Amino acid sequence: MVSIRSLAPPDYSEDEKCALVDFLLSLKKTHLQDFLREAELPRSGTKAEFRERLTQALDEGHITHEQVVDFLDAVALWGKQHVYLYLGPRGDPNPWKDPELLQQHLKQHRVGKYLNARLPLVLPDALTLSSITHLDGKVRITAVQKKTYAERAPEHDAEKETEDGAPIILRAYVHHVARALVTFEWDLSANTAMLQITQLHGDRVYEQVAKEFFDLVSPWLDIEKTFTLLDIRGVIPRLHELEGNGKPEARSHGIHYRSLRGRRLSAHSPSPRDSVIGEPDIDNAMVGIRKNGVGHLGNFYWLANGNHGTVANPLRGDVHVILVADKGRINFPTPNNEDVMRYVLHRVRALS
pLDDT tens string 76-114: 989 999 999 999 998 777 789 999 999 999 999 999 999
In percent, the amount of the chain with pLDDT more than 70 equals: 100
With beta carbons less than 8 A apart as the criterion, state whether 126 and 218 touch.
no
The average pLDDT across 178-200 equals 96
pLDDT of residue 46: 87
Query: Helices 338-351 & 235-244, crossing angle to 10 degrees?
Result: 90
Are residue 66 and residue 116 in the same domain, yes or no? no
- The tens digit of pLDDT for each residue in 123-133 reads 999 999 999 99
Full DSSP string of 51-103: HHHHHHHHHTTSS-HHHHHHHHHHHHTTSSEEEEEEE--SS--HHHH-HHHHH
Same domain, 183 and 239: no
- 173: which DSSP letter? E
Average pLDDT of span 234-245: 96
279 CB-near residues (< 8 Å, 6+ apart):
none
Nearest to 89 by CA among 226, 243, 283: 226
Q: In this structure, are residues 292 and 277 in contact, taking their beta carbons and an 8 Å threshold?
A: no
* Cα distance between residue 172 and residue 166, in whole Å: 19
pLDDT tens, residue by residue, 161-172: 998 889 999 999
How many beta carbons lie within 10 A of that of residue 26, not counting itself? 11
Together in a domain, 214 and 239? no
Average pLDDT over the chain, rounded to an integer: 93
Residues 337, 217 share a domain: no
Q: Which of 350, 83, 87 is nearest to 235 (CA)?
A: 350
- Supply the pLDDT for residue 1: 61
- 278 bridge partner residues: none
Choosing from 41, 76, 111, the residue where a domain stops is 76
The model's confidence at residue 305, banded by pLDDT at 50, 70 and 90, is confident
Cβ atoms of 220 and 106 within 8 Å: the answer is yes
* Dist CA 40 CA 123 (whole Å): 26
The reply to whether 67 and 136 lie within a common domain is: no
Question: CA 334 to CA 56: how far, in whole Å?
Answer: 31
Question: Which residue range(s) make up the domain with 278?
Answer: 235-351
**Boundary of a domain, candidates 55, 76, 97:** 76
Amino acid at 148: T
- Of these ranges, 41-55, 155-169, 231-245, the one predicted with the greatest mean pLDDT is 231-245
Residue 62 CA to its chain's centroid (Å)? 31
